[in-house]
Structure 1
Amino acid sequence: MASSLRAGVLHWTVAVPLLAVVLTVLTWGRGLPAAVVVLAGLFLAGAVLAAVHHAEVVAHRVGEPFGSLVLAVAVTVIEVALIVTLMADGGGKSATLARDTVFAAVMITCNGIVGLCLLVGALRRGVAVFNPEGTGAALATVATLATLSLALPTFTTSAPGPRFSTAQLVFASVASLVLYGLFVATQTVRHRDYFLPVTAQGETAGAEEHAGPPSRRAALTSLGLLVPSLVAVVGLAKVESPTIESGVAAAGLPSSVVGVVIALLVLLPESIAAVRAARRDRVQTSLNLGLGSAMASIGLTVPAVAAASVWLKGPLVLGLGPSHLVLLALTVAVGTLTVIPGRATPLQGGVHLAVLAAYLVLAVSP
């Protein structure tokens, strides 16, 4: 009994997240030597893998779509806390921080995660099969949230620049929360079957056969360890950001590249979990993760930064520029055409990845 307990405590999925949180606390806001930066990078990678492990344990216990919802919401809540913390630090770049981070998350999830998972699923068995009712509802919600929160501020005239007035910001925040709440209720209560994995014949897939569900105690333990794992991922990404900023500046790249790199790091747990699900022929689970993360990123970030803007100094810029508006419109159009048939070939996955590549190229060379 004692030996098994010691083995559990010493298991890397337990030890790495806890040590990573300690390292985050010790290094937060300090200048770091190269050796500590490398150590932080190693613990960041370990925390990502640990988060994926614990999220999969919880998902296996509670089943879909609750499992993907747990990971998406957990990552987004911590990401929102990081955004508000960085905005509180002030500086000229804080006005567009929320917009840049949310849009990066939308592009990475809707084109990167979705495209990669469709490609993996389609290459595995010819076509990637999913439920168009649930996926279409998720895409429609993401498109509406992105348009209301990121596109409309570019065209409103009540406040100078691509900004909302106070009344408009309140409306966008309330609308974001209501739409996200309605989607969660649809996904988990009234139409849960729309978000379950399906077979090639369009039938709901059964439970995974490789192993029985973990015990309640194991699931609760993983749920408890998922939080420090994700805190460590986001915290160490922030710790690494000065080094990333220095590297970006040394390479002569725009400062917006820093936000893209940090968003990629923060979304790594969801990306790995989504690809693993696609490799197990559970593409619907992958799409739940990708689109659910995009939805949570907008639906929770906008109300949070709107509330924080009451006491934070400086303007809150949410409106996208012309090139990003084009990419957003293209993402929605391509996503719609992908979702309608309920199945995708490798071509659709490649198209989504091409849109993400265009976004990354414009981030490096606006």
Structure 2
Amino acid sequence: MVTGPRALLAQWTTVTPVIAVVLLALTWGRSLPGAVVALLTIVLAASVLAAVHHAEVVAHRVGEPFGSLVLAIAVTVIEVALIVTLMVDGGDKSATLARDTVFAAVMITCNGVVGLSLLVASLRHGTAVFNPEGTGAALATVATLATLSLVLPTFTTSAPGPEFSTVQLTFAALSSLVLYGLFIATLTVRHRDYFLPITRQGEVITFEEHAHAPSSRTALTSLGMLGLALVGVVGLAKGVSPTIEDGVAAAGLHHAVVGVIIALLVLLPETIAAVRSARRDRVQTSLNLALGSAMASIGLTIPAVALASVWLTGPLVLGLGSIHMVLLALTVVVASLTVVPGRATPLQGGVHLVLFAAYLELAVNP
């Protein structure tokens, strides 16, 4: 009989996604009492930890930057499905859901995850080191996608309000797909070494020496469990979302807070994985996860909601307000200054975290 902490972890992280999917099937589309919501929340949290474990197994097998790409795309694809599902169910009140959730994902990843990773790595190792070439390219792509998809609709005049016309929305969707495709090609084919972790002497780390990679069978099993865990995370997040919406309304908070909470839930696996990488002095992996998630969130969500708008009857509001545009602009400027040197101190991590705290405070008190 196999015993020990490692075997226990493997058993626990295998059973949890199955339980999550079973509970999701039993509770989908139903009005849930408080006790069931509490149970779903516990299973959701356990599924997040299981997803992180399986993502790290897959990442160890395929290596960087493919490992962080797998987790970013997997989370985002299911997040997009959640957004579209909520938009279909929500009617006119969900007109801003895609915008709020995507912008929340950008602020969480570019300030929360980046800031936390830099702070953890620099406190533990003195400074956080990473490759400015790859990180800068990712940041430039995120900034361009965010501006084209979330800023321009506020200033266009072809449609009333902060909305795109059909032609403009089509252009934004195609541009998002093209830019994201170019980034994936750069990340995985032509300039893969730009996105690999580096040593403090600036040398690229092409493989990990401290542990043997898992077998192909183990990696494929973890890939399947990762998919189940992420389905469970996002599906259970939808299950508890009515309770979240009721709580937000009862507290008198702006409806945009719902998008923030949903984004926080679905990005939790990536946040934990990024912090773990930062603790191991693999800050480039943390930044790949953070910026890759922001990019995938925009690059996949905008085309998906553009396609969904064909049958959705309500408006699709994508344009940010003035406060959020200021926060986005400040985030791009600060992130650029953080990336250029290729190393960061606790100060840079703290600056990003303060920006993230400001975003949360303004979401609650706009």
Same fold by TM-score, threshold 0.5 exceeded? yes
Q: Secondary structure at the match of 2:90?
A: coil
Distance 2:172 2:148 in 1: 6
Aligned residue runs from structure 1 range 100-249, under 5 A: 100-249=100-249
| Letter of the 2:143 counterpart | A
1:88 corresponds to: 88
The percentage of aligned residue pairs carrying the same residue is 78
2:307 corresponds to: 307
| Letter of the 2:96 counterpart | T
State TM-score, norm by structure 1: 0.97
1:48 corresponds to: 48
Give the drift of 1:54. Answer: 0.4
2:30 corresponds to: 30
Where in structure 1 are there 5+ consecutive unaligned residues?
none
Which runs of at least 4 in structure 1 moved beyond 4 Å after TM superposition?
A: 7-10
Equivalent pair of 2:196/2:206 in contact (CA under 8 Å): no
Distance 2:350 2:256 in 1: 25
Give the drift of 1:9. Answer: 12
Q: Secondary structure at the match of 2:148?
A: helix
Aligned residue runs from structure 1 range 319-334, under 5 A: 319-334=319-334
Distance 1:277 1:206 in 2: 15
| Letter of the 1:187 counterpart | L
Equivalent pair of 1:9/1:15 in contact (CA under 8 Å): no
Equivalent pair of 1:327/1:359 in contact (CA under 8 Å): yes
Task: Name the Cα RMSD after superposition.
Answer: 1.7
1:268 corresponds to: 268
Distance 1:317 1:354 in 2: 28
Give the drift of 1:29. Answer: 2.0
Equivalent pair of 2:92/2:315 in contact (CA under 8 Å): no
Equivalent pair of 1:90/1:313 in contact (CA under 8 Å): no
Distance 1:311 1:170, change over 3 A: same
State TM-score, norm by structure 2: 0.97
Where in structure 2 are there 5+ consecutive unaligned residues?
none
Alignment of 1:20 with 2:20, yes or no, is: yes
Q: Secondary structure at the match of 1:76?
A: helix
Aligned residues: 364
| Letter of the 2:176 counterpart | S
Give the drift of 1:124. Answer: 1.0
2:79 corresponds to: 79
Give the drift of 1:255. Answer: 1.8
Distance 2:181 2:249 in 1: 41
Distance 2:156 2:196 in 1: 39
Give the drift of 1:70. Answer: 0.2
CA deviation vs aligned residue, 1:65-117 (integer Å, no higher than 9, x gap): 00000000000000001111111113222211111110000000000000000
| Letter of the 1:72 counterpart | A
